[in-house]
Amino acid sequence: MSNFSRQIRFSSSMIRCLQYRISRSFTTIEGHRPTIVHKQGLDILHDPWFNKGTAFSMTERDRLELRGLLPPNVMSNEQQIDRFMADLKRLEVNARDGPSDTNSLAKWRILNRLHDRNETMYYKVLIAKIEEYAPIVYTPTVGLVCQKYGGLFRRPRGMYFSAADRGEMMSMVYNWPAEQVDMIVVTDGSRILGLGDLGVQGIGIAIGKLDLYVAAAGINPQRVLPIMIDVGTNNEALLKDPLYLGLQQHRLDGEEYLAVIDEFMEAVFTRWPHVIVQFEDFQSKWAFKLLQRYRNSYRMFNDDVQGTAGVAIAGLLGAVRAQGKPMIDFPKQKIVVAGAGSAGIGVLNAARKTMARMLGNNELAYESAGSQFWVVDANGLITEERENIDDDAKPFARKTKEMGRQGLKEGASLVEVVREVKPDVLLGLSAVGGLFSEEVLEALKGSTSTRPAIFAMSNPTTNAECTPEEAFSIVGENVVFASGSPFADVDLGNGHIGHCNQGNNMYLFPGIGLGTLLSGSRIVSDGMLQAAAECLAGYMTEEEVLKGIIYPSISSIRDITKQVAAAVISEAIEEDLAEGYREMDAREIRKLNKDEIISYVEDNMWSPEYPTLIYKND
Ligand SMILES: NC(=O)C1=CN([C@@H]2O[C@H](COP(=O)(O)OP(=O)(O)OC[C@H]3O[C@@H](n4cnc5c(N)ncnc54)[C@H](O)[C@@H]3O)[C@@H](O)[C@H]2O)C=CC1
Ligand SMILES: CC(=O)C(=O)O
Ligand SMILES: [Mg+2]
In testing the pocket of ligand 2, which one of 459, 463, 502 has its CB within 8 Å of the most ligand atoms? Answer: 459
Residue 103 pLDDT level (bands cut at 50, 70, 90): confident
Ligand 3 centroid–CA 205 distance in Å is: 8
Of the listed ligands, the closest to the CA of 139 is 2
* pLDDT computed for residue 157 by the predictor: 93
Q: Other CB atoms closer than 10 Å to residue 616's CB: what's the count?
A: 7
Of the listed ligands, the closest to the CA of 413 is 1
- pLDDT tens profile 575-601: 999 999 999 999 999 999 999 999 999
Could you identify the atom of ligand 2 that is nearest to the CA of residue 281?
A: 6
Q: Is 459 in the pocket of ligand 2 (CB under 6 A)?
A: yes
Helices 130-137 & 557-574 angle (0-180, nearest 10): 70
Q: Is 452 in the pocket of ligand 1 (CB under 6 A)?
A: no
Of the listed ligands, the closest to the CA of 337 is 1
Ligand 2 centroid–CA 601 distance in Å is: 26
Ligand 3 centroid–CA 459 distance in Å is: 9
Given a contact cutoff of 8 angstroms between Cβ atoms, the answer to whether 618 and 232 are in contact is: no
- pLDDT tens profile 506-536: 999 999 999 999 999 999 999 999 999 999 9
Q: Is 463 in the pocket of ligand 1 (CB under 6 A)?
A: yes
Rounded to the nearest angstrom, the gap between the alpha carbon of residue 310 and the centroid of all alpha carbons in its chain is 11
**Burial group, residue 507, by CB count within 10 angstroms (0-12, 13-18, 19+):** buried
Residue 14 pLDDT level (bands cut at 50, 70, 90): low
Q: Which residue's alpha carbon is at the smallest distance from atom 4 of ligand 2?
A: 193
* pLDDT computed for residue 474 by the predictor: 98
Among candidate residues 52, 107, 124, 209, the one labeled active-site is 209
* pLDDT computed for residue 2 by the predictor: 38
Amino acid at 299: R
Residue 460 is inside which H or E element, if any?
none
* DSSP 8-state symbol, 450: S
CA distance linking residue 554 with residue 354, whole number of Å: 26
- pLDDT tens profile 406-446: 899 999 999 999 999 999 999 999 999 999 999 999 999 99
Q: Mean per-residue pLDDT for 286-299?
A: 97
Among candidate residues 138, 244, 257, 551, the one labeled active-site is 138
Q: Is 51 in the pocket of ligand 2 (CB under 6 A)?
A: no
Residue 373 is inside which H or E element, if any?
strand 373-377
* DSSP 8-state symbol, 347: H
Residue 69 pLDDT level (bands cut at 50, 70, 90): confident
- pLDDT tens profile 184-195: 999 999 999 999
Angle (nearest 5°) at CA 272 between 267 and 278: 80
Residue 465 sits at φ, ψ, to 5 deg, of -65, -25
Q: Is 516 in the pocket of ligand 1 (CB under 6 A)?
A: no
In testing the pocket of ligand 2, which one of 137, 138, 139 has its CB within 8 Å of the most ligand atoms? Answer: 139
Kindly write down the DSSP assignment for every residue of 48-59, as one continuous string.
TTT--GGG--HH
CA distance linking residue 160 with residue 199, whole number of Å: 12
Given a contact cutoff of 8 angstroms between Cβ atoms, the answer to whether 285 and 292 are in contact is: no
State pTM to two decimals.
0.90
Angle (nearest 5°) at CA 123 between 121 and 127: 120
Given a contact cutoff of 8 angstroms between Cβ atoms, the answer to whether 433 and 140 are in contact is: no
20 assigned to active site: no
Q: Who wins on pLDDT, 130 or 85?
A: 130
209 assigned to active site: yes
Could you identify the atom of ligand 2 that is nearest to the CA of residue 458?
A: 5
* pLDDT computed for residue 99 by the predictor: 38
Instruction: Please identify every residue whose CB atom is under 5 Å from ligand 3, which is an ion.
Output: 281, 304
C-alpha distances (whole Å) from 57 to each of 34, 77, 279 are 14, 11, 41
What is the average pLDDT value for the chain, to the nearest integer?
92
Given a contact cutoff of 8 angstroms between Cβ atoms, the answer to whether 189 and 203 are in contact is: yes
CA distance linking residue 126 with residue 107, whole number of Å: 12
Length reported for the chain: 618
Q: What ipTM describes this predicted complex?
A: 0.99
